[in-house]
């Protein structure tokens, strides 16, 4: 069970015609986190004074609190899920919701983490929160978003983007990844991994955060074939894996796999495998394994080969070496 003295609050804005998975995905992840010992209190907010909204699927959502009932702080999370495109495409949308947008800007100034899921990025854009900030949104809206918010630094090839206390994610299901990302920041990668396993999903993460485990890094891309190869490598570190085997796994030629893997991860397959082995070896050594056993578990020929890789990839060697 997680032990953490800090109590957090998570606020979920429910706009009209909300995309249900944008809302329910992150909300359920935080619910699961509480089952594992986190301390996160959930609140559901209306963008106006109504206590109910209707989702894009026609499902009614009630017991909502007016957004202006709360002032947030640095221990608070604020999720803005996506909504149907015809709403934010209306002329005068920002003016119609100016009071809410002003409130949203105030919460940013108060230090709250603000997380846009999918087209929820439009709401942050109208509030000016993406001015000179990196962000992303659903692929279908990239051109329109950039035209509407030219001051934003829109990234078209990222699943999750963090810039300060402002977060955004690329599409509907990526809200789940975003929630895991935030849980990792709050409670650490081991805890976040437990939650991912509980809901039977895998991690896809941004490689820009140096504190992330290498098992979570280099996963911030949308190519499921490469995710499959990465999963296979992580689960077969003790074996010598041929490129032909990996290529057959995803029905590609070895040449195409080599090219695509480097394109989407920024690393060669060999370099990625080295990083996996180094991190796994460090974990084993810290748990008391002998150098020879750690080397064998990581598919290395000798203790000397492990020592070489550790010198290559780490600043200091463990005392065991």
Both 181 and 231 in a single domain? no
Both 268 and 186 in a single domain? no
Q: Quickly state the pLDDT bin for 193 (edges 50, 70, 90).
A: confident
Both 186 and 274 in a single domain? no
Residue 152 belongs to some domain of the structure: yes
Q: What's the pLDDT at 29?
A: 94
The rounded percent of the chain whose pLDDT value lies above 70 is 90
Q: Quickly state the pLDDT bin for 23 (edges 50, 70, 90).
A: very high
Q: Quickly state the pLDDT bin for 1 (edges 50, 70, 90).
A: low
Average pLDDT, the chain: 87
Across 37-62, average pLDDT: 88
Residue 56 belongs to some domain of the structure: yes
Residue 202 belongs to some domain of the structure: no
Across 85-89, average pLDDT: 90
Across 190-206, average pLDDT: 70
| Residue 182, domain extent | 8-196
pLDDT tens profile 90-99: 899 999 999 9
Q: What's the pLDDT at 31?
A: 95
Least confident stretch, 17-31, 50-64, 233-247: 50-64
The CATH number given to whatever domain includes residue 110 is 3.40.50.880
Residue 214 belongs to some domain of the structure: no
Residue 173 belongs to some domain of the structure: yes
Residue 209 belongs to some domain of the structure: no
Q: Is the pLDDT of residue 134 over 90?
A: yes
Q: Is the pLDDT of residue 148 over 90?
A: yes
Both 178 and 234 in a single domain? no
Residue 201 belongs to some domain of the structure: no
Strands 60-61 and 153-154: unpaired
Please identify, among 196, 211, 239, the residue that sits at the C-terminal boundary of a domain.
196
Instruction: Measure the CA–CA gap between 198 and 191, rounded to whole angstroms.
Output: 11
Q: What's the pLDDT at 235?
A: 84
Q: Which residue has the higher pLDDT, 308 or 209?
A: 308
**Backbone angles phi and psi of 97, in degrees to 5:** -115, 25
Least confident stretch, 16-20, 272-276, 309-313: 309-313
Both 240 and 109 in a single domain? no
Please identify, among 177, 196, 215, the residue that sits at the C-terminal boundary of a domain.
196
Instruction: Select from 150, 111, 105, 110 the least CA-distant residue to 124.
Output: 105
pLDDT tens profile 242-289: 999 999 999 999 999 999 999 999 999 999 999 888 888 887 887 788
Both 107 and 234 in a single domain? no
Q: What's the pLDDT at 163?
A: 93
Q: What's the pLDDT at 210?
A: 32
The CATH number given to whatever domain includes residue 266 is 1.10.10.60
Q: Is the pLDDT of residue 4 over 80?
A: no
For the full predicted model, state whether its pTM sits above 0.85.
Answer: no
Both 166 and 60 in a single domain? yes
Q: What's the pLDDT at 43?
A: 96
Across 157-180, average pLDDT: 86
Across 111-134, average pLDDT: 96
Both 182 and 136 in a single domain? yes
Both 155 and 67 in a single domain? yes
Q: Which residue has the higher pLDDT, 56 or 190?
A: 56
Q: What's the total number of domains in the chain?
A: 2
Give the chain's length. 321
């Amino acid at each position: 069970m997680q032990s953490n003295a800090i109590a957090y609050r998570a606020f979920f804005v429910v706009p009209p015609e909300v995309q249900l998975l944008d809302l329910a995905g992150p909300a359920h992840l935080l619910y699961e986190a509480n089952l594992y010992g986190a301390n996160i209190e959930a609140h559901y907010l209306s963008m106006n004074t109504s206590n109910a909204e209707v989702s894009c699927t026609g499902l009614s959502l009630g017991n909502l609190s007016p957004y202006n009932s709360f002032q947030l702080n640095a221990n608070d999370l604020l999720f803005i899920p996506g909504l149907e495109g015809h709403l934010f495409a209306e002329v005068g949308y920002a003016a119609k919701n100016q009071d809410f947008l002003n409130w949203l800007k105030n919460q940013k100034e108060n230090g709250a983490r603000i997380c846009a899921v999918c087209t929820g990025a439009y709401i942050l854009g109208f509030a000016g929160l993406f001015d000179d900030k990196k962000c992303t949104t659903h692929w279908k809206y990239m051109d329109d978003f950039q035209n509407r918010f030219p001051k934003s630094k829109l990234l078209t090839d990222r699943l999750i983007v963090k810039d300060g206390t402002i977060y955004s994610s690329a599409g509907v299901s990526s809200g789940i990844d975003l929630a895991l990302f935030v849980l990792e920041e709050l409670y650490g990668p081991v805890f976040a991994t437990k939650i991912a396993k509980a809901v039977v999903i895998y991690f896809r993460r941004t490689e820009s955060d140096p504190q992330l485990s290498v098992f979570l890094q280099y996963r911030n891309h949308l190519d499921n074939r490469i995710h499959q190869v990465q999963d296979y490598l992580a689960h077969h570190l003790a074996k010598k894996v041929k490129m032909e085997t990996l290529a057959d796994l995803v029905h590609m030629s070895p040449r195409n796999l080599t090219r695509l893997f480097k394109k989407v991860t920024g690393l060669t397959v060999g370099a990625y495998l080295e990083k996996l082995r180094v991190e796994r070896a460090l974990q084993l050594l810290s748990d008391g394994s002998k150098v020879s056993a750690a080397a064998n578990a990581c598919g290395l020929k000798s203790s000397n080969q492990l020592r070489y890789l550790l010198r290559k990839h780490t600043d200091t060697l463990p005392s065991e070496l």
